[in-house]
Amino acid sequence: MELNYIHGAKITEEIRKGKQIHGELESETNVPIVLMPRSYADFLYKGLYTSYIALKALQQNKKTREVQIYGSINGFRLTGKIDQLDIKDNEVVVTEDKTKGSDKLPSEAQMLTHRVQVMVYKKVLDDIHAKKYTSDNFKKAYRTYNLRITDEFARQLNALEVQKEMQGIDSISDMFFASLEKLDKISDTLCIRYINQSTGKLIDTHKFKYTDNEMSSVLDFVLKYWKGERESLAVPQNEKWKCNFCAFFGKECKVWWPQKGLGI
């Protein structure tokens, strides 16, 4: 992650295949919305608008995909995109999709990072649901008071017949957060689906219970890095197999590079 910030993100073949599968799944539940942002304000608006439309689909179809969320944890701003939300037994269930190159089940080390991701989604949704993080918090964090969409982007919204009163970032953020606040209770049962990136076949669905204690423990460790209380950590020796799938391995990062030639 730190190397991504320092050198810029790199798209691997695995990431490309994963994006393709996510796109195919999204098209099964969400109406395609084609918008081409021309500025940061346009980009921010698009995320809010498409997610607002996705939440409307959730209420109508009991299922939706690709919902952008915004929040804050211990003062650190964050954003993410939830792969899927379902309404089951009057609760909203969060599901994350992960693609794999084979039908082999993920290791505990792999699964841990995936668990943390959906746990954060659950916490952010709970905070919004409880109005601990509101549209006002969002506007302040992103300084929306001086953001205006471009004329070209406004023409695109007009073509989609988006009402004029919805074409401001403040107005769409109010509608988006109001929709999240009205959701049913967010389920404590979280789901991770593993999908074969070549065949699209479902390999397995991992379900687990969210607990505040586990979330607190994770945040305590992670936030020490963001607070500058510890350095970033390389993967441990028993997980260095991950390096074979990393775009920085042997280039910008050589932590485990010498061992590769020795077959270790």
- Does the pLDDT of residue 1 top 90, yes or no? no
- Whether residue 239 lies inside any domain: the answer is no
From 15-19, 54-58, 67-71, 256-260, the region with the lowest mean pLDDT: 15-19
- Whether residue 261 lies inside any domain: the answer is no
- Whether residue 74 lies inside any domain: the answer is yes
Contacts of 181 (CB under 8 A, 6+ apart): 128, 129, 131, 134
- What residue numbers bound the domain in which 139 lies? 11-233
Taking only the tens place, the pLDDT of each residue in 76-115 is 999 999 999 999 999 999 999 988 878 888 777 778 889 9
Could you tell me which residues are beta bridge partners of residue 206? Answer: 192
185, 92 in Cβ contact below 8 A?
yes
- Whether residue 35 lies inside any domain: the answer is yes
- Whether residue 258 lies inside any domain: the answer is no
- Does the pLDDT of residue 147 top 60, yes or no? yes
- Whether residue 260 lies inside any domain: the answer is no
- Does the pLDDT of residue 21 top 90, yes or no? no
- Whether residue 252 lies inside any domain: the answer is no
Taking only the tens place, the pLDDT of each residue in 167-215 is 999 999 999 999 999 999 999 999 999 998 888 889 999 999 999 999 9
Q: How many domains does the chain have?
A: 1
| Residue 236: predicted pLDDT | 84
- Whether residue 242 lies inside any domain: the answer is no
Q: Note the pTM of the prediction, 2 decimals.
A: 0.83
| Residue 260: predicted pLDDT | 53
